[in-house]
Chain A
């Protein structure tokens, strides 16, 4: 009976956590603070958005590029530099690096192999979410509509979500923001 109670509690806590994740990843009430094309408006592979999602602050990266593997490779390189093996947060960075490859591979595998595709851009979103209680890293695929330079996410799917240390998420958010908006992330 005790074991049953423990299992039920576990399931409840997981469900609660999932609900909390759902809330942190729910984009319906997002308020866009600012955005920037990366690496530049002329050669954009995506954009970085600073978003307020209820109480949570979110740094959202939307990548829509034909060379997603290359872009992911560069993100992974930056992660390796920013989080060396002896630095706190290295384990989170490592987890993030693995998740990036995994999701990028899933997106790549979804592309038809033997036929030519009109829009070959692979679309990946990455979010660093800093809620009052929890800090999340989420990565997924999305579909979008474009009007001029405006990109509207019409459908999205989370393919990997994991909780990371607040310090890791906070610093990474700062670094991404600084990189995208050309400010010094470490002095902010």
Chain B
């Protein structure tokens, strides 16, 4: 260290600069994930089902454009849709466009069922059109709303795995159409999984552009306010910059891209990397002005290194516990945030002393108004904790009990659409389509026989019909599409009747499938049944609900399907939305596991540091309490557990315990046989950097409140809040417990 603070300063700075420049270059090339793939938990069995589903039925990521037109079923309205159809079909990457103007129906012909356009061209009178639509109820909800005021345009996009940009180009082109054509009472609304992915990527890029500079500004202000010196601002910010550059550079070198969760890495790392710098600078300011600069700095480093190392270790371990999550995005966040914290310790404990080695120790900054105010607050808290050591923990325990009582109300819910703010186009459009046309979310169920035979018998179809009936009985379900709709139309056209019924016997059922086998419309048919008829798809459209409703609904429908079909069949749930719902189901268990691990690791580290069961037990109380409070607060405010908010406990335990470690380390140093006296000294001593660090941390985290996604906003808000309550616990509960548990003796220091 001595070498580093003398002759080694310039080589060290040069090396650091070179490494930072190299990694910053990579960090600058960091891309944004365009398919949200890392937000889906890896589950080989479920993924295999989804892959088979896509191979059989194609992509389930069709786009839906709703068209509201004042004269929808008049010539003007239909011409508008036809024109729109042509323009959409010409967009590169669009495979097919389906709407009222090209929809077909099965009618009775000379040789039985024949395909005929749904609507005559040119359009005839609207009464006839309405009658045609009434005769084909399967189209209501998909191509036209129940009130006949909105039409749906289904847009099938190509699957180009190697092309990362075509989807964005399609959506941009469609959004441009929406913007130019929405006028004179005409409104267009666009939704779909691909739009969600596109918008999430765009918002991540937007957040990166705004949140990182905002975090720099906020942290700069906080540091300037507390340290009142240029170097007091620049040194911590330099540590922050190096940490972010190194971590994001490593992230890019690992071949990863930013997603909705890891987009939080830069602001979170900026905040977390401050602690070491703040402690080093504050101790340097507080240190007695004796000895030369280097000696003083060596004392400062010696004073803070263990506490800072253990604090960094616990923070890193807390974050690393997220590695147990089955969601890649959460794992990446945990791993790289932990790495960043360790980097920030290494850089902070070297760069800051090196930087300070160029300066004289300033006249004490503690004379500033800020520090006087802080010391008054700290003195007050020490007085309360020492004078009422029983009442303080009792009061806090009562709040904790209330929080625990509220915890069962905490809902586990992920709602991709409502993750966005209510003025986001996707949020607005999706809810419009959901209310006026059809359910904006879809669950898919795949049925096949265990003997791999074709599903063409009357019994197969009867079971499918029973399944469909039970699906439609759920109030969240707005419609179900399967081969049944085709068979009903076929039977009506073959029999020349009017009723939409299924083929009545084995022979007619087999004949219907024989006709389907020969139909030229195979691509459309392939969306509901496999080419060899061995696998059938039931696409269930449901209202735009969160996974708290969708996940149990999917499981219920799956169970019903298995009951209707029996052991001779396989019934599986799949689809993009099902994966999200399924992941959400496992989220709480996954995060409880992660939190348990984080807690155990933190306990082990504190135990190793203090080698005292008493201090380890005391250390846990002010750290678990605020997490329970936050959980209770979320339950009371109706904030759901989701991908972002479920990370809070695991991420925050390692951070908030730092205050306790610093407090207890200082307490042991100050203890001379009188706990009350030691508490007063400790609170007044270590309290200042704790307050500074916490204010910086909280404000830094709250920068995330300006993000685009509610889970990240809640994560930032609630993590900051938890830090405040944790500091309150550290300044009141920890000293009170120390006083209560004190067995006076000469000294433990």
Binding site for B on A (CB under 8 A): 43, 66-67, 69-74, 76-77, 80, 111-117, 120
Contacts and interface: CB of A to CB of B under 8 A. Distances in A.
Contacts, number: 47
B449 to A, nearest CB: 13
Interface in B506-529: 506-507, 510-511, 514-515, 517-518
14 contacts: A66-B517, A66-B518, A69-B112, A71-B111, A73-B111, A74-B111, A76-B110, A77-B111, A80-B110, A112-B506, A112-B507, A113-B505, A114-B505, A117-B507
Given A113-B506, A117-B510, 15 more contacts: A43-B518, A66-B511, A66-B514, A66-B517, A70-B112, A70-B515, A70-B518, A71-B111, A76-B110, A76-B111, A77-B110, A112-B506, A112-B507, A113-B507, A120-B514
Contacts of B111: 69-74, 76-77
Contacts of B505: 113-114
Contacts of B110: 73, 76-77, 80
A72 B111 CA distance: 6
B457 interface: yes
Q: Which of A70, A112, A117 has most chain B Cβ within 10 Å?
A: A70
A114 B505 CA distance: 6
A91 to B, nearest CB: 19
A67 B518 CA distance: 8
Interface string B484-514: 0000000000000000000001110011001
A73 B109 contact: yes
A69 to B, nearest CB: 5
Contacts of B514: 66-67, 120
Contacts of A80: 110
Contacts of A114: 505-507
A120 B510 CA distance: 8
A67 B507 CA distance: 12
Residue from the set B109, B507, B515, B518 with the largest chain A CB neighbour count within 10 Å: B507
A128 B511 CA distance: 28
B112 to A, nearest CB: 5
Given A73-B110, A73-B112, A67 B506 contact: no
Interface in B88-111: 109-111
Contacts of A120: 510-511, 514
A115 B515 contact: no
A72 B109 CA distance: 12
A120 B515 CA distance: 12
Nearest to B113: A70
A143 B689 CA distance: 98
A116 B453 CA distance: 13
A71 B511 CA distance: 13
Contacts of B507: 111-114, 117
Contacts of A77: 110-111
A66 B508 CA distance: 11
B510 A67 contact: no
Nearest to A80: B110
A108 B518 CA distance: 18
Interface in B446-461: 457
Nearest to B494: A69
A153 to B, nearest CB: 22
A101 to B, nearest CB: 9
Contacts of B112: 69-70, 73
Nearest to A70: B111
Nearest to B508: A113
A111 B510 CA distance: 11
Contacts of A112: 506-507
> What 8 pairs across the A-B complex have the smallest Cβ distances?
A73-B111, A66-B514, A73-B110, A70-B111, A113-B507, A113-B505, A67-B514, A69-B112
A22 B11 CA distance: 112
B409 to A, nearest CB: 55
A72 B518 CA distance: 14
B506 A116 contact: yes
Nearest to A77: B110
Contacts of A113: 505-507
Contacts of B518: 43, 66-67, 70
A11 to B, nearest CB: 39
Given A116-B457, A116-B506, A67 B511 contact: yes
